[in-house]
């Protein structure tokens, strides 16, 4: 088993210099067709595969961008990653993904790994990274953007939507339908600033309403199962809530499922609204009222922002993506 062929081997075999071989790969037009053919034949004979590392060391570019995501096993992040990857590809950039499980220590470790393998830029979720993470990014001066929220005063450029606006869109919808006793189903907020922002917005609304609005909060894992359990708890100790506001469509789906299996009807017994607008949400039973969040688009925007940052060295501005309510059949006016 002989070692991998390199430029010199090819040059020797083709009877040219290494410079010429390099030119065949990078600027074929500057090589005469004749020699070009000889070189290509030699490459092929020797099964030549150029070394990415050697190239990168010279050009100083790896064409690689890293995304640090809580998980991929979740439609939101998966669709985000899909949009991101597609758009990065158009710029000749590749996407390496690392999942963090929302653990700040893992996030830092993965960021370190990403730089170790040569990532030129990083994308993170949310803007509440650990102090160490922040120090790390600043020390290495690696272009980094945050997605999933739009927040002018964040330490990173943020590309996302206004989470406060989003939850209030859902709330206003329910209030206009006459609901004012609402069960709120949300995920863990320990390391999730999107959830925190949404909760905070609701608490402010509750205060502002001065008694005309009351919430009962149910925390549950970010899954269909979690939503289902939250609904079970809601009914086990039933109050006078007439609606459920879930922070994600997945949770909403779980809620609806459990309500159904306990013999209740949506929207007759409970109006349910979600947030996100998964592709499948319009086909739930009943079709889910939700706040549409442009996740795929967010991926594309993040790709553009980073591609330009890498290109011209100018840190991008924050970007707010539009959101809107998708009113469907899971919510109706309160039954009086």
Partner DNA sequence: ATGAAAGCGCTAACAC
Partner DNA sequence: GTGTTAGCGCTTTCAT
Helices (H), the chain: 7-14, 18-26, 33-45, 52-59, 75-90, 104-116, 131-140, 163-176, 193-209, 224-236, 249-261, 295-312
Among 18, 86, 264, 310, binds a second copy (CB under 8 A): 86
> Residue 329 touches which of a second copy, DNA, none (CB < 5 to 8 A by kind)?
none
Q: Which is nearer to a second copy, 140 or 203 (CB)?
A: 140
- How far, in Å, CA of 136 to CA of 271, rounded? 46
Q: Is 279 a residue that touches a second copy (CB under 8 A)? A: yes
272 contacts 243 by C-beta, under 8 angstroms: yes
- How far, in Å, CA of 16 to CA of 12, rounded? 6
At which residue do the structure tokens 């050009």 appear? Answer: 59
Name 287's Cβ contacts closer than 8 Å, sequence gap at least 6. Answer: 281, 328, 329, 330
Q: Which is nearer to DNA, 140 or 265 (CB)?
A: 140
> Residue 31 touches which of a second copy, DNA, none (CB < 5 to 8 A by kind)?
DNA
- How far, in Å, CA of 17 to CA of 21, rounded? 7
Q: Which stretch binds a second copy (CB under 8 A): 51-59, 146-154, 171-179, 181-189?
A: 51-59
Among 12, 18, 35, 72, binds a second copy (CB under 8 A): 72
- How far, in Å, CA of 269 to CA of 56, rounded? 62
Rounded least distance, CB 210 to a second copy, Å: 38
Rounded least distance, CB 119 to a second copy, Å: 8
Rounded least distance, CB 311 to a second copy, Å: 16
Q: Is 47 a residue that touches a second copy (CB under 8 A)? A: yes
Q: Is the peptide bond before 23 cis (omega within 30 degrees of 0)?
A: no
> Residue 248 touches which of DNA, a second copy, none (CB < 5 to 8 A by kind)?
none
> Residue 6 touches which of a second copy, DNA, none (CB < 5 to 8 A by kind)?
DNA
Binding region for DNA (CB under 7 A)? 3-4, 6-8, 15-20, 22-23, 25-26, 30-32, 34-36, 48, 50-51, 54-55, 57-59
Q: Is 264 a residue that touches a second copy (CB under 8 A)? A: no
């Amino acid at each position: 088993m002989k070692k991998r062929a390199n430029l010199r081997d090819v040059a020797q075999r083709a009877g040219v210099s290494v410079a010429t071989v390099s030119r065949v790969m990078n600027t074929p037009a500057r090589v005469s067709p004749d020699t070009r053919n000889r070189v290509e034949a030699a490459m092929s004979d020797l099964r030549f595969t150029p070394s990415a590392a050697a190239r990168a060391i010279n050009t100083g570019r790896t064409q690689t961008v890293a995304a640090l995501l809580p998980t991929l096993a979740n439609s939101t992040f998966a669709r985000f990653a899909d949009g991101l990857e597609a758009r990065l590809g158009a710029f000749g950039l590749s996407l390496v993904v690392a999942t963090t499980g929302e653990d700040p220590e893992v996030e830092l470790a993965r960021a370190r790994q990403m730089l170790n393998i040569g990532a030129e830029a990083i994308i993170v979720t949310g803007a509440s990274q650990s102090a160490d993470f922040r120090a790390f990014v600043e020390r290495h001066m690696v272009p980094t953007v945050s997605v999933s929220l739009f927040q002018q005063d964040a330490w990173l450029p943020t590309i996302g939507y206004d989470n406060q606006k989003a939850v209030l869109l859902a709330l206003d919808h329910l209030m206009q339908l006459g609901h004012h006793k609402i069960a709120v189903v949300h995920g863990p907020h320990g390391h999730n600033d999107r959830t925190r922002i949404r909760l905070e917005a609701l608490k402010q609304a509750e205060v502002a309403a001065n008694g005309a609005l009351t919430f009962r909060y149910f925390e549950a894992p970010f899954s269909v199962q979690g939503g289902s359990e939250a609904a079970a708890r809601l009914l086990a100790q039933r109050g006078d809530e007439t609606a459920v506001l879930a922070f994600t469509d997945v949770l909403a789906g779980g809620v609806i499922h459990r309500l159904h299996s306990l013999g209740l009807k949506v929207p007759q017994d409970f109006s349910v609204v979600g947030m996100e607008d998964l592709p499948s949400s319009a086909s739930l039973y009943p079709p889910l009222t939700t706040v549409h969040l442009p996740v795929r688009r967010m991926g594309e925007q993040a790709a553009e922002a980073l591609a330009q940052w890498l290109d011209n060295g100018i840190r991008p501005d924050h970007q707010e993506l539009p959101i809107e309510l998708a009113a469907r059949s899971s919510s109706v006016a309160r039954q009086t």
